[in-house]
Amino acid sequence: MAAPPPKQEELQPHAVRDQLPAVSYCLTSPPPWPEAILLGFQHYLVMLGTTVIIPTALVPQMGGGNEEKARVVQTLLFVAGINTLLQSFLGTRLPAVIGGSYTFVAPTISIVLAARYSGIADPHEKFLRTMRGTQGALIVASTLQIIMGFSGLWRIVVRLLSPLSAAPLVALVGFGLYELGFPSVAKCIEIGLPEIILLVALSQYVPHLVPLLGTAFERFAVIMSVAIVWLYAFFLTVGGAYKNAAPKTQFHCRTDRSGLVGGAPWITVPYPFQWGAPTFDAGECFAMMAAAFVALVESTGAFIAVSRYASATPCPPSVMSRGIGWQGVGILLAGLFGTANGCSVSVENAGLLGLTRVGSRRVVQISAGFMLFFSILGKFGAVFASIPGPIIAAIYCLLFAYVGMAGVGFLQFCNLNSFRTKFILGFSLFMGISVPQYFNEYTSVAGFGPVHTHARWTCCYVLYHDLGGDTESTGSLYLVSSTT
């Protein structure tokens, strides 16, 4: 009699992981010094994108030229280095880079377009006046985060977060920045697309094809791909490929059109009130405070993603609130030094933690050292800051995706078979995409508009606590057990 066929093993779902198992170096386990220095430089290279893009967009509207733009970039870099060190030593102590934030661009533009500056004929004088107005608004706006953070008010809000409400918050912190990805790559597709292909190949394919060197390619894919594509773009520039191209194409594709190298001084140390005494206007201050609250929510989601990729336990509400307080101090420093922009957790650097699988605090502290060093040596920092924008945007396509997936990963703690969970999650994600689109269309037609809201967090947070339900379906037991 023939033996019965072997019984097939019943398929089981993947195990729920409180911490990611494939992280090479976690929060408190630093890599060797040579590797840590290279990884720190890579973090510096990634955060340069936002540091350059924001002043490039704002300074010309304020009336400044290449020299003012270079000084603002240096100042923003200097303040980012200080804030990153403060956050890593005194704030959440997570490997989070604190840099410029796109959230503050809208209120800054509203200050630039204010009627009280429209009659100034001299461009340099207009730049100084608008910069001082921005400084005053940032100084006042910083008090919102300082009070909510250090008083413990934000701790009360964070304590009520569950994986179900954290998932859309963190996911759309990454996915919500899609406008900075491929649309910017397409502005110079001949260098942006090769950067995407090369970065994906080096970080995902080469480690499997060359196992002996796979770790090096995986961890330093950004440095390698940027060096290769930047050199390729340089040869296109000197070879005359853009000689007869449109001015807009030349601006995005050429490697010599940033104006930063020529405008930057050799050595300079940014200092408080370098643009003059700040000025204060009630309307401008309230607009900047609205942006500060949006940045507060955005940074909360980024902190959650950073703790996940650093293989740390969920950040306790008290620690999260303390980190927000120190971020408020960072906005205060931005106002004192005059960066024309506030600060928040760098989303792209949070994604880099996932790409490299290195969540060490020491690496981020080393990157802060690079920020301070190159902000003082202006010419050398300007060389790296002149990387074409489409190359930076190509990197964003991968890094923002990692941050978004950090949020999606929290759904493993939720019961996705619950119709209540499906409604809360789906409605929050949809509104998180749809509502900002309304603000984009309104601003494009009117030329100005209100600060974008974070509807995904508001919807999910309110619906979760209003509809009620068991803590097991929403994953609340996971956060309670991890933070107590």
The pLDDT profile of the chain, 484 residues, written as one tens digit per residue, is 566 666 556 666 767 766 777 888 988 889 999 999 999 999 999 998 888 889 988 999 999 888 899 899 999 999 999 999 999 999 999 999 999 998 899 899 989 988 888 888 889 999 999 999 999 999 999 999 999 999 999 999 898 888 888 888 899 888 988 888 899 999 999 999 999 999 999 999 998 888 777 688 889 999 999 999 999 999 998 888 888 888 888 888 888 876 677 777 888 899 999 999 999 999 899 999 999 998 998 999 999 999 999 988 888 999 999 999 999 999 999 999 999 999 999 999 999 999 999 999 999 999 999 999 999 987 887 888 788 989 999 999 999 999 999 999 888 888 888 888 888 888 888 888 887 777 777 666 665 555 554 555 566 656 655 565 555 555 555 554 455 4
* Half-sphere exposure of residue 357: CA atoms within 13 angstroms, side-chain side: 14
Helices 123-150 and 105-112: crossing angle, nearest 10°? 140
Residues 6+ apart with CB under 8 A from 212: none
- Phi/psi for 259 (5° steps) reads 75, 5
- Which residues, other chains included, contact 476 with Cβ-Cβ below 8 Å and sequence gap of 6+? 162, 163, 164
Cα dihedral angle (326, 345, 263, 243), rounded to 10 degrees? Answer: -170
Q: What is the DSSP string of 230-272?
A: HHHHHHHHHTTTTTTS-HHHHHHH-SS-S-HHHHS-SB----T
Q: For the whole prediction, is pTM greater than 0.95?
A: no
Phi and psi at 28, nearest 5°, equal -105, 10
Show the tokens assigned to 29.
């386990």
In the chain, count H helices and then E strands: 24, 2
Return the domain boundaries, the chain: 33-412
First and final CA of the chain: distance in angstroms?
60
Round to whole Å and give the CA distance between 102 and 177. Answer: 10
CA 212, 214, 217, 220 torsion: positive or negative? negative
